[in-house]
């Protein structure tokens, strides 16, 4: 497979994917044609690879619409072209969602769950095509592209079950002949704004949770992965989601995103993205006193103690740091390494990277594909230049060029040895760049791990059970792994972070229901007389 290695610089062996004409064309058109007839939307999602907006159950292209395209970051090929939505388009979408809301909220929740089960079934049937589309549009390797879709399927199935579990509480009254309970109610029109790094999983986390709880949705995906978004929306429509319940408006964050957050129909904004955008969305949403749920960045540490199982930790750090080319909010971007194993472990890491294949993400042998876009490439390379000035480069540190690499955005996996406190050790890079920080004790490791603005994921490798439990208690993060990498969320558990990673909400698990429901408190007095809480309670005994 990798006999033609490019060995000009110290670094990983490179997969010679230039030998290939390019990734095989995705057969998504066939799968789209094979759609069933239940709940078939009016219109077509696309003409060739041209996609419209999906509003009120119809694919539409507004007159005089301007278009943008998405490209394969490995090859530069066009993946699709999309409408750059306007504030008017957003208004039409939110109006459609508001019109659809009364009927959808009255649809019994188990029935809404059944529609989601059908979505999951169709997504499973389309998994391999969708996985390839994720890889083509975003660049993660094919196993991770398929994993992205699997996570979406898992979550939609999980949420389908929530349709039979939207529990409230029954609570005792302080008065006689009085019954107190809570019920969950949908919020109304929900805006779901998503990033490009999990182009099927993250939208489904939001959409499935919002729909099963009875809300209607306007979905604004990241522009870089608009085709994944369009195909997902089509699946929901095919599965029987009624017109207006799920709408898609593609386009720029500053136009479509702002209009959505400002829109008076929208009561809740569920946002995943960068911290600067999240802050802007939060401030804007506050003007309308909206609930704004934020899932933002991370600077996630793995602590490797001197008693750790080093080969196990090695696999975890590699996957955590360079999986999805480091473009996960939970990516391992800091290795907090005990001084007693420092050189040994770093040596193992560098040695392993020498056999780590970077190249065609559709080839199952590839360890890491391209970064997602030219913007990503520029940002990551700029951070690498910062790192070269403030830290010691131990591996990589450059763009990959020559042959097929010149068609895409390939960055060599990069390792810096750095003191804690440098920019590269504290700022989110969101790329395949690992900062390694030497520490002398558990206490120092935790101090370093916690001394960043973010708090999403964290991990410790140790064989000491007491240290493991101390770390669970001490690490300031929404997620802590023991003897596992910082990535690996499962949909039945809550997901989210502390500090600048968010504003307190959680996605996934049953916690996702909280985000999309209001709690109504109900008092039923069957005493047939006026009873006064707090006032009559002393005489109620």
Burial class (CB in 10 A: 0-12, 13-18, 19+), 203: buried
Q: DSSP character for 269?
A: E
- CA dihedral for 387, 72, 490, 353, sign (positive or negative): negative
Q: What is the DSSP string of 464-520?
A: -HHHHHHHHHH--SSEEEESS-S----TTS-B--EETTBSS--BSTTHHHHHTEEEE
State in angstroms the smallest separation of the CB of 396 from ligand NAD: 21
- State the minimum distance, in angstroms, from the CB of residue 273 to ligand NAD: 3
Total residues found in the chain within this entry: 541
Region of 230-238, 251-259, 314-322, 437-445 interacting with ligand NAD (CB under 6 A): 251-259
Strand 50-51 versus strand 46-47 pairing type: antiparallel
Q: Does 329 bind ligand NAD (CB under 6 A)?
A: yes
CA-to-CA separations, 304 to 63, 326, 341, 430, in angstroms, rounded: 58, 19, 9, 21
- If one asks whether residue 73 binds ligand NAD (CB under 6 A), the answer comes out as no
If DSSP codes are grouped into helix, strand and coil, which group holds residue 185?
strand
- Tell me if 203 contacts ligand NAD by CB under 6 A: no
The verdict on 272 binding ligand NAD (CB under 6 A) reads yes
The CB-of-481 to ligand NAD minimum distance in angstroms stands at: 16
Which positions from 384 through 423 interact with ligand NAD, judged by CB under 6 A?
none
Q: Does 316 bind ligand NAD (CB under 6 A)?
A: no
Strand blocks (E) in 72-172: 78-83, 170-171
- The reply on whether position 277 binds ligand NAD by CB under 6 A is yes
74 binds ligand NAD (CB under 6 A): no
Q: Which residue is listed with tokens 């392993």? A: 352
User: Which of 70, 75, 94, 197 is in the footprint of ligand NAD by CB under 6 A?
Assistant: 197
Please say which residue, 194 or 414, places its beta carbon nearer to ligand NAD: 194
Asked if 194 is part of the footprint of ligand NAD (rule: CB under 6 A), the reply reads yes
When the beta carbons of 83 and 261 are compared against ligand NAD, the nearer one is 261
Measure Cα distances from 10 to 95, 369, 394, 400, 414 in Å.
57, 19, 10, 12, 11
Q: Which two tokens stand for residue 10?
A: 């110290």
- Closest-by-Cβ residue to ligand NAD is 253
Q: Choose which of 298, 323, 367, 509 interacts with ligand NAD (CB under 6 A).
A: 298
Per CB under 6 A, 89 contacts ligand NAD: no
Q: How wide is the angle at C-alpha 367 spanned by C-alphas 365 and 370, nearest 5°?
A: 115
238 or 428: CB nearest ligand NAD: 428
Residue 442: Cβ within 10 Å count: 20
Per CB under 6 A, which of residues 482..501 are in contact with ligand NAD? 501
273 binds ligand NAD, rule: CB under 6 A = yes
Measure the N-to-C terminal CA separation of the chain; round to a whole number of Å. 81
Nearest approach, Cβ of residue 226 and ligand NAD (Å): 10
Q: Show which residues are catalytic.
A: 295, 329
Number of residues that bind ligand NAD (CB under 6 A): 31
State yes or no: residue 155 binds ligand NAD (CB under 6 A): no
Task: Out of 95, 157, 295, 363, point to the residue binding ligand NAD (CB under 6 A).
Answer: 295
Q: Which is nearer to ligand NAD, 112 or 220 (CB)?
A: 220
Is 200 a binding residue for ligand NAD by CB under 6 A? The answer is no
- Which of 147-155, 211-219, 239-247, 254-262 is the region at the interface with ligand NAD (rule: CB under 6 A)? 254-262
240 lies in the binding site for ligand NAD (CB under 6 A) = no
Residue with Cβ nearer ligand NAD (198 or 356): 198
Q: Mask 438-477, x = binds ligand NAD (CB under 6 A)?
A: ------------------x---------------------
Q: Pick the binder of ligand NAD from 222, 228, 230, 232 (CB under 6 A).
A: 222
> What is the pairing mode between strands 246-248 and 266-272?
unpaired
Separation between Cα atoms, residue 156 and residue 123, nearest integer Å: 9
Q: Calculate the CA dihedral of residues 476, 480, 484, 489 and round it to 10 degrees.
A: -120
Interface with ligand NAD includes 22 (CB under 6 A)? Answer: no
Nearest approach, Cβ of 292 to ligand NAD (angstroms)? 10
Residues near 106 by beta carbon (within 8 Å), at least 6 away in sequence: none
- The yes or no reply on residue 259 touching ligand NAD (CB under 6 A) is no
In sequence order, what are the beta bridge partners of 481?
A: 459
The tokens of 439 are what? 């520490």
The DSSP bridge partners found for residue 216 are 189
Give the closest residue to 474 by CA, choosing from 463, 460, 453. Answer: 460
Interface residue list for ligand NAD (CB under 6 A): 193-198, 202, 220-223, 253-254, 257-258, 261, 272-274, 277, 280-281, 295-298, 329, 428, 430, 456, 501
């Amino acid at each position: 497979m990798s006999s033609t290695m490019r060995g000009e610089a110290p670094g990983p062996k490179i997969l010679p994917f230039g030998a290939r004409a390019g990734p095989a064309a995705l057969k998504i058109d066939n799968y789209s044609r094979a759609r069933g007839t239940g709940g078939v939307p009016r219109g077509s999602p696309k003409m060739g690879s041209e996609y419209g907006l999906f509003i009120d159950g119809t694919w539409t292209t507004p007159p005089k619409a301007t278009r943008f395209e998405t490209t394969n970051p490995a090859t530069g090929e066009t993946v699709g072209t999309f409408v750059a939505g306007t504030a008017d388009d957003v208004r039409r979408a939110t109006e459609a969602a508001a019109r659809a809301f009364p009927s959808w909220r009255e649809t019994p929740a188990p029935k809404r769950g059944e529609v989601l089960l059908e979505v999951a079934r169709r997504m499973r049937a389309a998994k391999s095509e969708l996985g390839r589309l994720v890889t083509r549009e975003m660049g993660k390797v094919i196993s991770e592209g398929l994993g992205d879709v699997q996570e979406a399927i898992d979550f939609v199935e999980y949420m389908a079950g929530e349709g039979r579990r939207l529990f409230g509480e029954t609570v005792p009254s302080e008065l006689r002949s009085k019954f107190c309970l809570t019920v969950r109610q949908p919020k109304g029109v929900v805006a779901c704004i998503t990033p490009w790094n999990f182009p099927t999983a993250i939208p489904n986390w939001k959409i499935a949770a919002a729909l099963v709880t009875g809300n209607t949705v306007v979905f604004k995906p990241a522009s870089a992965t608009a085709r994944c978004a369009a195909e997902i929306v089509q699946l929901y429509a095919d599965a029987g989601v009624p017109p207006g319940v799920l709408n898609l408006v593609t386009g720029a964050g500053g136009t479509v995103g702002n209009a959505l957050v400002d829109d008076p129909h929208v009561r809740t904004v569920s946002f995943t993205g960068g911290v600067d955008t999240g802050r802007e969305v939060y401030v804007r949403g506050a003007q309308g006193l909206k609930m704004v749920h934020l899932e933002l960045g991370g600077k996630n540490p793995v602590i490797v103690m001197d008693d750790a199982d080093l080969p196990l930790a090695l696999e975890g750090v590699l996957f955590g740091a360079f999986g999805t080319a480091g473009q996960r909010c939970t990516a391992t971007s800091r290795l907090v390494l005990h001084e007693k194993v420092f050189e040994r472990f770093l040596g193992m890491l560098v040695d392993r990277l020498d056999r780590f294949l970077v190249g065609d993400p559709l080839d199952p042998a590839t360890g890491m594909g391209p970064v997602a876009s030219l913007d990503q490439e520029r940002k990551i390379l700029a951070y690498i230049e910062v790192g070269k000035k403030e830290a010691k480069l131990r591996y990589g540190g450059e763009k990959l060029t020559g042959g097929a690499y010149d068609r895409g955005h390939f960055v060599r996996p990069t390792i810096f040895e750095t003191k804690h406190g440098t920019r590269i050790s504290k700022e989110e890079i969101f790329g395949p760049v690992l900062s390694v920080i030497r520490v002398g004790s558990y206490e120092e490791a935790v101090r370093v791990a916690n001394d960043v603005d973010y708090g999403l994921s964290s991990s410790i490798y140790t064989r000491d059970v007491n240290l493991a439990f101390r770390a669970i208690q001490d690490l300031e993060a929404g997620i802590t792994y023991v003897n596992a990498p910082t990535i690996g969320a499962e949909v039945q558990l809550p997901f989210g972070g502390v500090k600048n990673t968010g504003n307190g909400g959680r996605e996934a698990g049953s916690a996702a229901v909280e985000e999309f429901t209001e709690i109504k408190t109900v008092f039923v007095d069957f005493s047939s007389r006026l009873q006064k809480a707090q006032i009559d309670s002393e005489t109620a005994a």
